[in-house]
């Protein structure tokens, strides 16, 4: 397991804890023989933060194994998380809304009075 998260992983962890606390995401979660960046067992959702070394073709076996465990995967590139956290949270909000509707999970969003967008 990685001891030091990347900047993008730190940012995503902060956003997940702030915006989706009821989903109970965990970091560096073992699933089969793999370690995923973030997982919500409650939602059966995995979030992967990837740099340039990842590609759908290279990760196909890993993706299949994780999906065989009943998880959906939401991939994000490092630069998406760092440069467009609002867009990432919007995508996740839609995914979590669809998955969490029967599990009592709704995204929390910052008050518009406090400022626009999500805070990190």
pLDDT tens digits for range 37-80: 999 999 999 999 987 666 667 788 999 999 999 999 999 999 99
pLDDT on residue 117: 41
What's the whole-number mean pLDDT along residues 92-101? 76
- Angle at alpha carbon of residue 9, lines to 80 and 69, rounded to 5°: 95
Residue 75: name the closest of 5, 12, 119, 19 by CA. Answer: 12
* Cα(111)–Cα(115) distance, integer angstroms: 7
* Cα(104)–Cα(23) distance, integer angstroms: 9
Paired strand residues for 35: 30
- Angle at alpha carbon of residue 61, lines to 13 and 79, rounded to 5°: 35
* Cα(55)–Cα(41) distance, integer angstroms: 24
pLDDT on residue 1: 41
pTM listed for this prediction: 0.78
The CA-atom distances, in angstroms, between 108 and each of 36, 58, 66, 92, 100 are 24, 34, 27, 12, 13
The CATH class of the 7-99 domain is alpha beta
Helix (H, G, I), strand (E, B) or coil at 93: helix
């Amino acid at each position: 397991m990685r001891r030091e998260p990347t900047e993008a992983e730190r940012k995503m962890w902060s956003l997940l804890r702030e915006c989706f606390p009821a989903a109970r995401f965990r970091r560096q979660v073992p699933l089969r023989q793999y370690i995923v960046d973030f997982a919500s067992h409650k939602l059966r959702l995995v979030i992967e933060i990837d740099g340039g070394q990842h590609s759908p073709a290279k990760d196909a076996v890993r993706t299949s194994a994780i999906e065989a465990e009943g998880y959906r995967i939401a991939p994000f590139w490092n630069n998406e998380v760092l440069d467009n956290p609002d867009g990432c949270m919007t995508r996740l909000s839609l995914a979590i809304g669809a998955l969490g509707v029967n599990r009592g999970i709704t995204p929390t969003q910052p008050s518009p009075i406090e400022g626009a967008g999500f805070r990190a």
